[in-house]
Structures are given as structure tokens and as C-alpha cells.
Structure 1
Amino acid sequence: MNADGGNPPVLEIKHGAVAYDRPVLRDVNLTVRSGEVVAVLGANGSGKSTMIRAGLGLVPLAEGQVELFGVPLPRFRQWKRIGYVPQRLGAGGGVPATVGEVVSSGRLARRGFPGLLRGDDRQAVARALAAVDLTDRAGDPVASLSGGQQQRTLIARALAGEPDLLVLDEPTAGVDAKSQEAFAQALRDFVRHGGTVLLVAHELGPLQPVITRAVVVHDGVIAHDGAVPHPAGHHAEPGHDHVHPHAPQDPPSIWGRE
């Protein structure tokens, strides 16, 4: 426990700003605490993916600072504590690897060297495959899987490293319903065993019951930080589960300050 009585911070962005040819993020403040499942929501181009990438040092800050597990980013070295699944990269990458081989590669961050898997490595890989419901596909080429199954393979690779923080960039974009349900259950299990999750999403679908807190990014600033906003207007129609602001005509009151 920290001084304010909450769980300790896992990731903190303080007054963060990112700019390329124009400002992308402006004065962003975000704290993710141990045990939380935080969803970062927002329209395309809002800056939500840039924010989490900046939090991992993958995008440089023009202003502000980041701390991971209480350590300033420039001095942080315990990368085995973080599992990162980037946005919709093919799990196979053109290499004729099996599902089991891709997931096993997730152990490298913890072991620090290649080689034969030890007993604890094999157990971690088996647990990760079971978590995303791909145990029966372990020997299959990744290229033979559907897009949703390939995404689950990447999530299992991150889980195999037994991280404390799991960061995922739009993990369910274009993923079938069965894969989304399997992913939601994997998150529940991960958090139940002490993990923390930060994910970027365009819409939540089956993940919504798992989310403990939502951060809405709009035009480079945090417009809402709290409970998952309720859809309004056309967002509330059957079959439409967007929970982010698309345009100025959306009621601003449900998004906090805009």
C-alpha cells in the first residue's frame, strides 16, 4: 500500500506531451495501480495508442515524465515485468513457426537467453495456451490460424512471460466473438492471480464486465477518467457498442470535460 491508501502505482505518466508535426498528446496525467484493468478509449486519431506507447518508452515525450513500478523510465530495467501486445501484428510474421513455438518465445524475457525449455518454462507456456483456449492448436502452424486465433497466440506469448503488467493495443480489433470471450476470461484469470492490465480499445464488447476503470482520450487530452461511460444516442442502438466520442454532436456530458 502507498501513502494514499491505494494499491501502489504500476505506471504513471505525469504531464506528458507528445508532438510530431503537430501536438498529439497534451498535459496527460495517468496513474495505473496494481490490480486494475484500465481501458483507454477514444476515436481513431485521438492519441490513445500514442499514450500507452509513450508510457512504455516506445514514443518519446516532448514534455513530462514516466515511472514504471516507481522507477523513472530512463532507469527502468525490469522489462520482464511487462508483457506488451502491439496492435494487430501477424503472429506468424512469415516464419513457419507453430503456435507452441511462438508462445514459448515469450519465456525469453524472463530467462534472458535462448535454449531448451525447463520444467517451469513448459508449465508457463501450457498455462498461457490454456488461458486463451489454444492448447489443442499448440502444434499447428500459426499461419493456419484465423486472425482472432493469431491474436490470442500473441496474448499467450505475453502471458507466458508471467508479467506483472499486461499492456495491449486494440487486442480485439477485428477478432471473432469466440476469441473475444476467450480473451476476456484470460484477463479475469490474469488479474485474479495479481496482474494489472492496461488496454487500448475502440469498443469493449465482452471485455466491458472485466474493466475496472475507463480513460477516454479525445483530441490529445484525457476527457474522462472513471467508470466506463454509457453509450448515448446512436451508440445505444442494438449492435452498436462503441463507448467513445466520435464527433462534436455526441453528448459531451457523459465524457466529462471536453
Structure 2
Amino acid sequence: MKSPTPPRPGPPFAMNGGHVRLDGRDVLRGVDLAVEPGDLLAVLGPNGAGKSTLVKALLGLLPLSAGRTEIYGRPPARFRDWKRIGYVPQRLPMGGGVPATVREVVASGRIARQSRWRPPSAADRAAVDRAIEAVGLSARARDSAHLLSGGQQQRVLIARALAGEPDAFVMDEPTAGVDAASQAALAGTLGELAAAGRTVVLVAHELGPVEPLINRTIVLDHGRVVRETSTGAATAALGRAS
């Protein structure tokens, strides 16, 4: 007798009827979204459209007031395989104590792959080296991350996510307010992720040099998905949403 087929895991991210209410205001309104493996999805829309709220809700960082969201088929509260997910927030957190170096920040991206009692391995150190090199910051690895420019700090956050070698990435406005060199570095990194079949959800107000790499877009306005487009239509969709 054949063994039963194990349940197939869901897509990297899925939301059904997602609704978020913050400070008495509806920020997301009935959002349905499925992010499939290998998607490079751009979440577009004007300021205040709910873009950052959407990705934080997908990750379980913000609770839904209605609806459901899943990561690889499980609600965020029950998801345990966090090494599969890389998150790039909008800015480097300002922590207290001794300022962390670029390498220390990037190395923190390996935590989900490390045993609590095991020191960093050669594989961990190699992954950190590769991530720092990928964003062009090898020469700044020993510098304090908080003394870098805004664009360089964003590269550090991307490197931290890369170091964890996840299957899916969520990047919250990585091109906002950064210099042309940092935007070009991001485009190069996204190209490598696409070639490796990784999944990326990218929040943006404008896409710049990463636009040719995007294969899907959704446009948010007032917390609703008002448009979805496929390859080649990202710039036009963004222009209509602004």
C-alpha cells in the first residue's frame, strides 16, 4: 500500500482578504495576493498606499484585523523555518551599546541557521564574506555600520539578508533615498537572485535600474490592490499610480 502523499507546501507568501486597521484607520482593505516561487514582485503605489503595511503583514510583523496570511502554507505565528526568509527593512535599527561593524551586522543574518551553542563555522564566515562582497562593501567590513551613508547602510541590510541564504526575500523600499551606486548594486544583486530562482517581494515608490528585472507588479492605492501587471509593464503601472 502506497504511503499517503505529504501535503504540498504553499507558495512563499499568500494573503486572502487581508485587512489591517491601525490607529483607527483602515490601512489594508481586503487584499488577496499569492507570491509564487521565483517571482520578482514589485509592490508599487503612492506614499501612504499601504505598501510597507502589506509586507509587514505578510511576515506577521503586523497583525491582521481580518483575513489570513501564510508563509509557505503556514500562518506566521506557526511558521518555524525562518532561515528560508530574508527581510530587508527600510533602515538600519539604531541600537544602544557599542556600535556594530558592517561585518557584525551582516553576520547576524546567519543566526537562524546556527545552533544556539555552536560558534560560527567556516561555512558561516564564508557566507558573510560572499554577502559583503556581493553588495560591494568588502573594504568597509570593519567600519561602524552607523557611520556609513544611507545607501551604504541599505546595502548592509541587503547583505545581512543574503548571508542567511534564504529562499525568499522581502525588501521594504531599498531604493528610497539612496545614491545611484547603491541602486546599481541592488540591481546587480537582484539579477543574481533571479538567476538562482529566488523569490523577491520588493516595495518601491520608483524602480529605477531594477525595473527590467521585475516580472510581476501590484499597485496599491488606499490599501487596495487596484492593478496587477506582468513583465514589461512596471513603469507604466507606476506612472498611473503616482
* Structure-2-length-normalised TM-score: 0.88
* In structure 2, C-alpha distance between the alignment counterparts of 1:93 and 1:175, rounded to whole Å: 25
Select which of 46, 50, 66 maps to 1:47: 50
Q: Which residue of 2 aligns with 1:236?
A: none
Match of 1:178 in 2: 181
Match of 1:15 among 14, 17, 41: 17
Shift in CA distance, 93/22, structure 1 to aligned 2, threshold 3 Å: same
Partner of 2:38: 35
Structure 1 residues 220 and 143: CA distance shift in structure 2, 3 A: closer
Paired with 2:121 and 2:194, the residues of 1 have a C-alpha distance of 25
Counterpart of 2:208 in structure 1 is: 205
Question: What do the CA deviations read for 1:46-92 (whole angstroms, capped 9, x no partner)?
Answer: 11111111111111111111111122333211111111111123577
Q: Which residue of 2 aligns with 1:144?
A: 147
SS of the residue 1:224 aligns to:
strand
1:214-253 matched pairs, under 5 angstroms: 214-227=217-230, 228-231=233-236, 243=239, 245-246=241-242
Amino acid at match of 1:156: A
TM-aligned CA distance change 1:135 to 1:203, over 3 Å: same
Q: Which amino acid aligns with 1:209?
A: P
Structure 2: distance between partners of 1:94 and 1:114? 24
Is 2:171 aligned against 1:168?
A: yes
2:63 matches 1:63: no
Cα–Cα, structure 1 residues 244 and 126, in superposed 2: closer, same or farther, change >3 Å?
A: farther
Contact 1:37/1:196, CA 8 A, preserved across alignment: yes
Indicate the residue corresponding to 2:4 in structure 1.
Answer: none
**Superimposed CA distance per residue, residues 18-57 of structure 1 (whole angstroms, 9 cap, x where no aligned partner):** 1120211111001101111101001111111111111111
**Structure 1 residue 121, shift from structure 2 partner:** 0.3
Contact 2:10-2:71 at 8 Å conserved across structures: no
Cα 1:230–1:146, aligned 2, differ >3 Å: closer, same or farther?
closer
Q: 1:221 to 1:18 in 2, by over 3 A?
A: same
Q: Give runs of ≥4 in structure 1 deviating > 6 Å.
A: 91-94
Q: Verify the 8 A CA contact 2:211 2:235 in the aligned structure 1.
A: no
For residues 153 and 118 of structure 2, the distance between their equivalents in structure 1, rounded to whole angstroms, comes to 24
Deviations, residues 158-181 of structure 1 (Å, cap 9, x unaligned): 110111111011011111000110
Once residues 90 and 209 of structure 2 are traced to their aligned partners in structure 1, the CA distance between those partners, rounded to angstroms, is 19
Shift in alpha-carbon separation, 1:178–1:74, aligned structure 2, 3 A: same
Q: What letter is aligned with 1:200?
A: V
- Tell me what 2:161 maps to: 158
CA distance in 1, matches of 2:31, 2:47: 18
Amino acid at match of 2:162: L
Residue equivalent to 1:195: 198
Stretch moving more, 155-164 or 72-81: 72-81
> In the TM superposition, what are the counterparts of 1:82-93 in structure 2 within 5 Å?
82-90=85-93
Tell me the SS of whatever aligns to 2:153. Answer: helix
Distance 1:98 1:187, change over 3 A: same
The equivalent residue for 2:107 is: 104
Unaligned runs of 5+ in 1: 1-6, 233-241, 247-258
- Change over 3 Å in CA distance of 1:93–1:215 after alignment to 2: farther
Q: Which whole-Å CA distance do the structure 1 matches of 2:102 and 2:55 have between them?
A: 27
Residue 187 of structure 1: how far off its partner (Å): 1.3
Separation of aligned partners in 1, 2:195 and 2:49: 31
Matched residue pairs, number? 231
